[in-house]
Amino acid sequence: MFPNIPPSPQLSKDERKLCKYYKNLNHAERNTLLLFAEFLSSKESSVETEEILMVLQKPLPIPATEGESVVKGIKRLKSSYFMIEDQDLLHEVSALMTEHVMQGVSAKEVMLKIERVFEKFYDKYKKDFLENTKEINE
């Protein structure tokens, strides 16, 4: 159609996914993501992937918004506790979501319970990490 303009390359599935996540972040979170991406792609960084994985990840302090829905609260907690696998949380979080939807338990009450679930799984992650690190260093 425009002979002098080369066609724009199609983004891969992962690139589209990354763009989607980026668009959902606030300014500070975008800067953090960009700094991390810059670090990972830096040629000066000689840190092996295994060494990066040896760092205990800590939750990001993302505050709840006023009148936050359960779905938005879960998304916030998933962003905060990015190191926890979704499949680990699925059973307990969906049971609590069902309490909210089917039994009318308030969003505030359900979110307090869901936050405890995330904290519990983070504590397990931390314990497992420390045990694995101890074994490697021995």
Residues 65 and 132 in one domain: yes
User: Distance between CA atoms of 111 and 105, rounded to whole angstroms?
Assistant: 10
Residues 97 and 121 in one domain: yes
Whether residue 38 sits in one domain with residue 71: no
The model's pTM is 0.60
**Distance between CA atoms of 128 and 132, rounded to whole angstroms?**
6
pLDDT of the residue at 115:
97
Quick one: 122 and 92 in the same domain?
yes
Please give the tally of structural domains in the chain. 2
**Is residue 79 assigned to a domain?**
yes
Angstrom distance (rounded) from CA 74 to CA 130: 26
Q: What is the DSSP letter of 120?
A: H
131 shares its domain with 73: yes
What is the predicted pLDDT for the residue at 111? Answer: 96
Distance, first Cα to last Cα, the chain: 65
Q: Are residues 85 and 126 in the same domain?
A: yes
Residue 113 lies in a domain: yes
**29 and 79 housed in the same domain:** no
In a domain, 132, yes or no: yes
Tell me if 4 is assigned to some domain: no
39 and 89 inside one domain = no
Q: What is the pLDDT along the chain (138 residues), one digit of tens a residue?
A: 455 555 557 878 888 888 888 888 888 788 777 777 776 776 554 555 555 557 889 999 999 999 899 999 999 999 999 999 888 889 999 999 999 999 999 999 999 999 999 999 999 999 998 888 776 655
Domain presence at residue 26: yes
Please indicate, yes or no, whether residues 65 and 117 belong to a single structural domain of this protein.
yes
Same domain, 21 and 86: no
Lookup: tokens for 47? 């840190």
Domain range for residue 121? 60-137
Tokens of 68: 């936050």
Domain membership of residue 54 (yes or no) is no
What pLDDT is stored for residue 51 in this prediction?
55
Whether residues 41 and 78 share a domain: the answer is no
Query: What's the burial of 100, exposed, middle or buried (CB within 10 Å: 0-12/13-18/19+)?
Result: buried
